[in-house]
Amino acid sequence: MSVVIALANQKGGVGKTTTTVSLAAALAARHLRVLIVDADPQANATSAVGATKDDEGGLYEALVDERPLGDAVRDTNIANLAVLPTTPALAGAEVELVSVMAREYRMKRALDALRPRFDVILVDCPPSLGLLTVNALAACDEVIIPVQCEYFALEGLSHLSHTIELVQRNLNPRLVIRGVVLTMFDGRTNLSREVETEVRTHFKQTFRAVIPRSIRLAEAPSHGEPINVFDPLSAGAKAYDDLADELIEALRARDLLPPLPVKVTPPGLPVAITATPTAIMTTPAPTSTAITSTHNSQTEQAHGGA
């Protein structure tokens, strides 16, 4: 049981990478085994978790030469969180795949082989609707669409919806739009509130959690740390915690996650990684009351410190 989720929007700078990394770290803190797949040659997700671009072979080789991805997966300094770093060669994949048979399924084959090792695989897409994004949409069970709370927020979303429909019709009938995430929300402006209303009107599946504009979220990548490590009590960390909880609830309803305890690990602990299935399975299962109280105390802390 595992789920692959693509974070896609062909618009640049809307918060795809920030959401991939922050959400991944929040899910990992909830004892899920999480893999970030950096499918963007810009390598922002790779560096945001303190990893480096990998020359050893990875996604590019899997897509173009159909080589297995196993060895390319790297642990991070965060417990339960691994990353598949991007490679400099990935930029060429869009062009090289054009003449390949069944080219849209290359990423699916590669990621399906990794499913037994992870509960959640998040794919950070590049800002285009080219073959890398189409491969990610064909490979995933669900797609999350980050939308920046600014003028023209909805522009381009009809194009993205159309692409998703085409993928559903021709490549991946099981693909579900999990929801839109509103990012860089500034509560002091009417504009942010208007965009929120408009997006919620058009997209019923908009997450309740809204990501605020926060300098701490912008600073975290330069330290190679996700927000729940860099500043666990910040408003940004709290928002991504809420998003993670909402996502887990939805995935559990679809039976896409194992019935594991959702217990938050105090963030920032330098725990050696490699979340093995055994490590996960030996975690004592608390009662549902214990789960709620653990989460609430974290939430209150976050409120108090934000």
Residue numbers of the site for ligand ATP (CB under 6 A)? 12-18, 40, 42, 44, 127, 183-184, 211, 213-214, 217-218, 221, 236
Q: Find the part of the chain contacting Mg ion (CB under 5 A) among 12-20, 51-59, 92-100, 270-278.
A: 12-20
Name the residue nearer to ligand ATP (CB basis): 89 or 145. Answer: 145
Name the residue nearer to ligand ATP (CB basis): 88 or 277. Answer: 88
Quote the CA–CA distance of 50 and 67 in Å, as a whole number.
Answer: 25
CB of 160 to ligand ATP, least distance (A): 12
β-partners of residue 226 are none
Task: List the structure tokens of 67.
Answer: 């080589």
Given candidates 44, 183, 192, 214, which one binds Mg ion under the rule CB under 5 A? 44
Q: Which amino acid is present at 292?
A: T
CB of 16 to Mg ion, least distance (A): 5
- 11 near Mg ion, rule: CB under 5 A: no
CB of 178 to Mg ion, least distance (A): 18
Q: Which helix (H) or strand (E) holds 139?
A: helix 131-139
- 9 near Mg ion, rule: CB under 5 A: no
User: What is residue 56's DSSP assignment?
Assistant: S
Please report, in angstroms and rounded to a whole number, the separation of the first and last CA atoms in the chain: 35
CB of 164 to ligand ATP, least distance (A): 17
Task: Report helix, strand or coil for 141.
Answer: coil
Quote the CA–CA distance of 213 and 216 in Å, as a whole number.
Answer: 9
β-partners of residue 123 are 6, 37
Number of residues that bind Mg ion (CB under 5 A): 3
Are 80 and 267 contacting, i.e. CB atoms less than 8 angstroms apart?
Answer: no
CB of 263 to Mg ion, least distance (A): 30
Residues counted in the chain: 306
Task: List the structure tokens of 245.
Answer: 């909880």
Question: Which of Mg ion, ligand ATP, none does residue 13 bind to, with CB < 5 to 8 Å depending on kind?
Answer: ligand ATP
- 16 near Mg ion, rule: CB under 5 A: yes
Q: Find the part of the chain contacting Mg ion (CB under 5 A) among 36-44, 49-57, 197-205, 216-224.
A: 36-44
Closest CB to Mg ion: residue number: 17
224: nearest Cα among 53, 86, 125, 77 = 77
User: What is residue 113's DSSP assignment?
Assistant: T
Name the residue nearer to ligand ATP (CB basis): 221 or 267. Answer: 221
Binding site for Mg ion (CB under 5 A): 16-17, 44
